Amino acid sequence: MNHRTVFFVSDQTGVTSETLGHSLLTQFDGLKFRGVTVPFINTPDKAKECVRRINLTAEVEGSKPIVFATMVQDDLREIIEESQGLVLDFFGAFIGPMERELGRVSSHATGKAHGVADQRSYTRRIDAMNYALEHDDGSTTRDYSKADIILVGVSRSGKTPTCLYMALRYGVYAANYPLTEEEFEQGKLPPALARYQDRLFGLTITSRRLQQIRQERRPESRYASARQVSFELRSAEALFARYGIPYFDTTESSVEEIASTVLDRTGLLNRLQEGGG
Amino acid sequence: MNHRTVFFVSDQTGVTSETLGHSLLTQFDGLKFRGVTVPFINTPDKAKECVRRINLTAEVEGSKPIVFATMVQDDLREIIEESQGLVLDFFGAFIGPMERELGRVSSHATGKAHGVADQRSYTRRIDAMNYALEHDDGSTTRDYSKADIILVGVSRSGKTPTCLYMALRYGVYAANYPLTEEEFEQGKLPPALARYQDRLFGLTITSRRLQQIRQERRPESRYASARQVSFELRSAEALFARYGIPYFDTTESSVEEIASTVLDRTGLLNRLQEGGG
């Protein structure tokens, strides 16, 4: 089957236009798309060059490319709209109703969406990332008093990517602590963790999926064996129950979904919103 | 000045609706917004509860909340649209034109946008994150043959967050190597790096900003002194010139912008798109 080419055109990084486009494209199962991101289209010359690329694709493939555009400047947007693609222009569609409701004309200024305009929140994200790196995989239990959240779970249940994502995206101070033989034998958490019981959140995963992940990393090891994996997961869930730690099964979820779920269930999302804005 | 409340309503994590909403809101300088994310609105009951929240806000604040919605299911979307907010609905606006152009009815299935549907690319992102963690801050120069890119620059020029972001978002294998006295005194790169000269990309930053960042971490240290900072930056840029390494000044840019710039200038963005889709 032929694919349809999709352009993500932006006067900036293209992140917004990709996010919008991908979430719409997932609604069309069974069709094949080829994505082309064209960032930093910030002059009329670059916009015209982009239109030539779109038109060439239309001619070669014999079908209209889909063009997701996030152009702030009217003159650039108008150039893109003259292309032979189906142009879905996100600013064009929404900025008008917003201007009417807010009683203001928008600034039409490029480059604010992902800039460092909000320096305070940006610094917090970088600091949070450093915190997550320093507190990854139980490497230190110092400074847990600064943690917004401490993820616990067995090795390869999704703790590290989730912590880094929560830090980089939301500025959340997220530590994580791996549950191992030591905790399972004793049937309890170390004092450094137990003290912050209200900040703990557990991650679990099905034994089938965990075995698969571990097998890829250390084939044929005890670590990846069905028996070891089942034992660890059962023991971890017993600890969650004992300490009343809320937990979530990450098997079917992406990092973005795990992070949102954790923030939602712990109420951190609301607290972040009250503090920030 | 009063703020205007903005709701990001989603049947999923809310990431798409936040990304789109924020990029529109940045076009209205000088107005104050309070953001409230309402994720996982996936039943009529939850949607009605959300509408009550929007309506209550409208009454208390005496102005229409702005509601950015990304609801796939028509019935849920219709409930939200009956609220007293200004509902800007991304799916509603674009899915129609796409269905007509593609000659298909969309699946209206929730939860695909950030799911693990594309398992291959998801595994690649997690593997890339592990690679970035293992190859952070020059901790090992082994396996540079697997790197898509190796960022070089002085301490605190933005290498680590950029590598992690490129890995988590794009599945790029990104290593980073800090330039220190050793390289500056010898005026050359270690053989492990020089061998992969075509994968190197430099980050630099103004001495004023670098001094500020280092001062926050180690106040009054030699590390944060004007003299040391200027020396390091001059020496690093001399190395970039000597080896013909392209480089970028990160002072005014967010992690997202640095990552996009690096991927764009190195041509990695195009290569990723040809490989993936």
Q: Which of B26, B250, B265 to mutate to test the interface with A (most CBs of A within 10 A)?
A: B26
Q: In this model, does residue B277 exceed pLDDT 50?
A: no
One fold for B3-102 and B119-275 = yes
Quickly tell me which residue has 């450094």 as its tokens. Answer: A192
Least confident of A123-132, A139-148, B78-87, B100-109: B100-109
Quickly tell me which residue has 């939602």 as its tokens. Answer: A264
Determine the pLDDT at residue A115: 45
Residues of B in contact with A16 (CB under 8 A): 19-20, 23
Q: Which of B37, B107, B129 has its CB closest to that of A161?
A: B129
Q: What is the dihedral of CA A104, A108, A111, A112, to 10 degrees?
A: 0
CB contact under 8 A, B27 and A101: no
Q: List CB contacts of A131: < 8 A, sequence separation 6 or more.
A: A143, A146, A147, A167, A173, A174, A175
DSSP code at position A65: P
Nearest residue on chain A to B275, alpha-carbon basis:
A34
Determine the pLDDT at residue B169: 86
**A78, A87 in Cβ contact below 8 A?**
no
Nearest Cα to B4, choosing from B68, B58, B69, B52? B58
Nearest Cα to B171, choosing from B265, B261, B273, B266? B273
Q: Phi and psi at residue B125, in whole multiples of 5°?
A: -65, -45
* CATH architecture, domain B119-275: 3-Layer(aba) Sandwich (3.40)
Determine the pLDDT at residue B274: 61
Quickly tell me which residue has 């004793």 as its tokens. Answer: A186
Distance from CA of A161 to the nearest CA of B (A): 7
Helix (H) or strand (E) holding A35: strand A32-38
CB contact under 8 A, A277 and B32: yes
SS3 content of chain A, % helix, strand, coil (to 5): 50, 15, 30
CB contact under 8 A, A27 and B95: yes
Spatial separation of the C-alpha atoms in residues A239 and A258, rounded to whole Å: 20
What residues of chain B, 5 to 44, have a C-beta less than 8 Å from chain A? 12-16, 19-20, 22-24, 26-37, 39-40
Nearest Cα to B52, choosing from B86, B11, B82? B82
**A253, B126 in Cβ contact below 8 A?**
no
Domain residue limits, chain B: 3-102, 119-275
Q: What is the dihedral of CA B91, B93, B95, B99, to 10 degrees?
A: 170
What residues of chain B, 153 to 182, have a C-beta less than 8 Å from chain A? 160-161, 164-165, 168
Distance from CA of A26 to the nearest CA of B (A): 6
What's the start-to-end Cα distance of chain B, in Å?
A: 47
Q: Which of A6, A11, A13 to mutate to test the interface with B (most CBs of B within 10 A)?
A: A13
Which segments in chain A show pLDDT lower than 70? 1, 109-120, 273-277
- pLDDT averaged over every residue in chain B: 89
Q: In this model, does residue B115 exceed pLDDT 60?
A: no
Spatial separation of the C-alpha atoms in residues A80 and A60, rounded to whole Å: 19
Confidence of residue B110 (pLDDT cuts 50, 70, 90): low
CB contact under 8 A, A164 and B160: no
Summarize pLDDT for B5-52 with one digit per residue, the tens.
Answer: 999 999 888 888 888 898 888 888 888 898 899 999 999 999 999 999
Helix (H) or strand (E) holding A179: none
Q: Which of B88, B91, B252 has its CB closest to that of A116?
A: B252
Residues of A in contact with B113 (CB under 8 A): 22-23, 26
Q: In this model, does residue B93 exceed pLDDT 90?
A: no
Rg, chain A, Cα only: 24
What's the start-to-end Cα distance of chain A, in Å?
A: 47
A186 burial (CB, 10 Å; 0-12 / 13-18 / 19+) is exposed
Q: For B39-190, where are the E strands, in sequence order? A: 66-70, 86-89, 149-153, 174-178
CB contact under 8 A, B15 and A39: no
Spatial separation of the C-alpha atoms in residues A28 and A19, rounded to whole Å: 15
Spatial separation of the C-alpha atoms in residues A183 and A190, rounded to whole Å: 7
Q: Could you tell me which residue, B79 or A257, shows the higher pLDDT?
A: B79
Q: Which of B28, B122, B257 has its CB closest to that of A106?
A: B28
CB contact under 8 A, A253 and B165: no
What residues of chain A, 111 to 140, have a C-beta less than 8 Å from chain B? 112-117, 122, 125-126, 129, 133, 136
Residue A191: both structure tokens together: 């004092």
Q: At what angle do helices A74-81 and A44-61 cross, to 10 degrees?
A: 20
CB contact A252 to B (< 8 Å): yes
CB contact under 8 A, B91 and A20: no
Instruction: Give the mean model confidence (pLDDT) for residues B147-155.
Output: 97
Give how far Cα B14 sits from Cα of A160, A248, B27, B86, Å.
21, 18, 20, 18
Q: List CB contacts of B242: < 8 A, sequence separation 6 or more.
A: B187, B188
Nearest Cα to A22, choosing from B268, B12, B258? B12
Instruction: Please give the full DSSP string across A210-277, using - where no structure is assigned.
Output: HHHHHHHHSTT-STT-HHHHHHHHHHHHHHHHHHT--EEE-TT--HHHHHHHHHHHTTHHHHHHHH--
3-class secondary structure, B67: strand
- A3-102 folds as Rossmann fold (3.40.50)
Neighbours of A149 (CB within 10 A): 20
Q: Phi and psi at residue A148, in whole multiples of 5°?
A: -80, -35
Q: Which of B3, B27, B91 has its CB closest to that of A95?
A: B27
Residues of B in contact with A72 (CB under 8 A): 27
Residues of A in contact with B20 (CB under 8 A): 16, 19-20, 90
Spatial separation of the C-alpha atoms in residues A147 and B111, rounded to whole Å: 30
**B152, B203 in Cβ contact below 8 A?**
yes
Q: Which of A4, A23, A274 to mutate to test the interface with B (most CBs of B within 10 A)?
A: A23
Nearest residue on chain B to A65, alpha-carbon basis:
B101
Q: Could you tell me which residue, A20 or B161, shows the higher pLDDT?
A: B161
